[in-house]
Chain A
């Protein structure tokens, strides 16, 4: 089975990459963009029966830095 961990910067944490992408989008003629935040999606191939709690534990211990990042776990 698959698990997907989405890691995103916490609100308020400065995101220089997001800001650069925002500027580039404006340069391409997309004035409707108000803000851009860059995160990561980590896809795991895990044993059947793996629980959301177990994947969240992986996220807390390694996949996300909870000082600056939030994460979301989805199982499929």
Chain B
């Protein structure tokens, strides 16, 4: 399975994500730089990592969303290529317009860095089909701007159309309707604040994140 990780200046989870992808797929992902203008042919997953792209200047993810490589990522998403954005990657996807809503400062103003319980809301996607519907998993978060907000119509639409992938099973950051991860309408773009790449081996304490990557593998292989 051919995957790629996009690296922006200030990304800091890119190597963890690459390790997780190689562990599950058996193939090292291509590492793409923010000002690359081409994607390698035949990619089956493009992953945007966590971190602090461009120092979170202006708004988290705002400057990265306008970088050269993102024009190609947007085009690939339009062709149906799966795109996964984790943490800062989720912020980049909303800023790029690939996902609705915005990720604002956590309601408590704290940087939240801990394991959280998540409900898997839909398993009808390549990203979540490795889980059971309604399953509760434990995946860590580490963010300052994870408070998902959108207008009421958008939130209703996300819920009605099965675009909510993960919900916090506890209060974490003030997100509207406890949303932790959402999909685009076509279901090939997922953004989530929790870090599945940090829980893929027993040495990490649990392996609840591994099923997300394995689910992709089973679909795409």
Give the B-binding residues of A (Cβ under 8 A).
13-14, 16-17, 20, 61-63, 65, 67-68
Contacts and interface: CB of A to CB of B under 8 A. Distances in A.
A20 B62 contact: no
Contacts of A65: 59, 62, 95, 102
B150 interface: yes
B147 A14 contact: yes
Secondary structure dominating the interface of A: helix
Contacts, number: 36
6 contacts: A13-B104, A14-B104, A16-B107, A17-B105, A67-B101, A68-B104
Given A16-B174, A68-B149, A62 B66 contact: yes
Interface residues of B, number: 20
Contacts of A20: 109
B62 A16 contact: no
B189 to A, nearest CB: 16
B108 interface: yes
Contact of B102 (A16, A17, A61, A67): A67
A8 to B, nearest CB: 13
Q: Which 10 A-B pairs have the closest CB atoms?
A: A68-B102, A67-B102, A16-B105, A16-B107, A16-B109, A20-B109, A65-B59, A65-B102, A62-B66, A17-B105
